A = this chain, B = another copy of it.
Amino acid sequence: MNRRPTQADVARMAGVSQATVSLVLNGPSNARARVGEQSRRRVLDAIRETGYVANPLAQGLARGRNRIVGVFTYESVFPSDGSNFYHPFLVGMEAEAVDVGVDLLLFTSAPVAAGKRRLTDSGWNRLDIADGCILIGRVGNDRELHELRERRYPVVYIGRRDPSDVDGHVPYVGADYAAATAEITRRMLQLGHRRIVFLGDLSAVPSARDRVLGYRRAMDEARHRPILLDGGAFTPAEAVQVIRDHGATAALLGPNVDVVAVRAAAITAGVQVPADLSLALLGEPENEPYPEGFAGFRIPRVEMGARALRLLASVIEGDDALDPAQLLACRVEVGHTLTSAPSAPTSPTVPVKEPS
């Protein structure tokens, strides 16, 4: 016989009905009782002889579940520019997938146009191959997300989501930037720094906003005035200049700032790091590894991947055991770019005013 053996083949050989074969294979827990020992043995023998294995597609169709978890990234999963942004997430997801016993489906059939993968007509239907999906990266347009919810398709986001996003609450696994940023800021304060600049993304996206929030909170506690600067607005040299202009002895640098360049610019300008100026990095720079020895915090990407997979599995099962909004702690890096404030406070060269 040339085609793959089916339950019907096995049944024929064993002299039982096809349904009995199914029962032997995966009947309810009391199945041992439900099928007579005689038939049972013959079925098992026939399975061995034919080399039968179940067709997972048919099982999926009949059961309505597949043991496949999808991964949808709005950019390429494996960027060809060599950077591998998603890699740590995938490491975590794979480890957990092995554990949970699901396969990982990468939606590579959805074409990437202009760097963005779209959930086109074909994309939508492919989604259903998986029992649910993990979404990573800059999320798609609202229409797509809305549609996902309408379909009640199980989804977990990697990255913080606002409850107001799309419509309703979406399960996510994020990193607690607020807490981590606050912690670093407090550390700076403890080290005697008073003027601490935040140089980073000032926009309203949750990840940016949370960092600002943590910074503000720590500064408020200490009754010091926050100094917020837009990280995208300055060259490294200008950044150093503006930090000094504010009379700051320490700066928090967001991941959109080229911290290595800023440090280099400081040295060039005769500003010692950390003797004159302490620097801390708020999470891995975009598309680059964390610069060795830099103070700041790292994003727990591997753990985020693992937790996302676990969460999705629970969402698929429909059990509410897991918190649908998970914020994981970041790992603080001590590094050597952060030290006590210089004893003689530098004097601001321009009047410091609170940004609006």
Mark A residues whose CB is within 8 Å of B.
2, 4, 51, 53-58, 60-61, 66-68, 76-80, 84, 87, 90-91, 93-95, 97-98, 101-112, 121-122, 124-126, 128-129, 147, 150-152, 302
Given known pairs A102-B108, A103-B105, A106-B104, the reply for A80 and B95 (CB within 8 Å) is: yes
Q: Given the complex, which residues of B lie within 8 Å of A87, measured CB to CB?
A: 78, 84, 87
Nearest residue (CB) in B for A58 is B61
Shortest Cβ distance from residue A111 to the other chain B in the assembled complex, whole angstroms:
6
Nearest residue (CB) in B for A102 is B109
Query: Contact: A53 with B102, CB < 8 Å?
Result: no
Q: Given the complex, which residues of B lie within 8 Å of A56, measured CB to CB?
A: 125-126, 128-129
Query: Contact: A97 with B68, CB < 8 Å?
Result: no
Query: Contact: A103 with B94, CB < 8 Å?
Result: no
Given known pairs A55-B125, A58-B61, A302-B80, the reply for A101 and B109 (CB within 8 Å) is: yes
Shortest Cβ distance from residue A309 to the other chain B in the assembled complex, whole angstroms:
9
Q: Given the complex, which residues of B lie within 8 Å of A101, measured CB to CB?
A: 109, 111, 122
Of the candidates A80, A108, A122, the one having the most CB atoms from chain B within 10 angstroms of its own CB is A108
Q: Given the complex, which residues of B lie within 8 Å of A98, measured CB to CB?
A: 76, 108-112
How far does the alpha carbon of A71 sit from the alpha carbon of B105 in the complex, in Å?
Answer: 10
How far does the alpha carbon of A97 sit from the alpha carbon of B128 in the complex, in Å?
Answer: 18
How far does the alpha carbon of A126 sit from the alpha carbon of B69 in the complex, in Å?
Answer: 13
Query: Contact: B103 with A129, CB < 8 Å?
Result: yes
Q: Given the complex, which residues of B lie within 8 Å of A57, measured CB to CB?
A: 57, 60-61, 66, 128-129
Shortest Cβ distance from residue A87 to the other chain B in the assembled complex, whole angstroms:
6
Nearest 4 CB-CB pairings of A with B: A97-B108, A53-B125, A104-B106, A78-B91
Shortest Cβ distance from residue A328 to the other chain B in the assembled complex, whole angstroms:
17
How far does the alpha carbon of A53 sit from the alpha carbon of B153 in the complex, in Å?
Answer: 13
Query: Contact: B97 with A109, CB < 8 Å?
Result: yes
How far does the alpha carbon of A97 sit from the alpha carbon of B78 in the complex, in Å?
Answer: 12
Q: Given the complex, which residues of B lie within 8 Å of A126, measured CB to CB?
A: 56, 67, 103
How far does the alpha carbon of A101 sit from the alpha carbon of B111 in the complex, in Å?
Answer: 8
Query: Contact: B103 with A109, CB < 8 Å?
Result: yes
Q: Given the complex, which residues of B lie within 8 Å of A2, measured CB to CB?
A: 152
Shortest Cβ distance from residue A175 to the other chain B in the assembled complex, whole angstroms:
19
Nearest residue (CB) in B for A153 is B4
How far does the alpha carbon of A54 sit from the alpha carbon of B106 in the complex, in Å?
Answer: 19
Q: Given the complex, which residues of B lie within 8 Å of A110, measured CB to CB?
A: 98
Shortest Cβ distance from residue A15 to the other chain B in the assembled complex, whole angstroms:
24
Query: Contact: B103 with A4, CB < 8 Å?
Result: no
Shortest Cβ distance from residue A160 to the other chain B in the assembled complex, whole angstroms:
23
How far does the alpha carbon of A291 sit from the alpha carbon of B4 in the complex, in Å?
Answer: 48
Shortest Cβ distance from residue A65 to the other chain B in the assembled complex, whole angstroms:
10
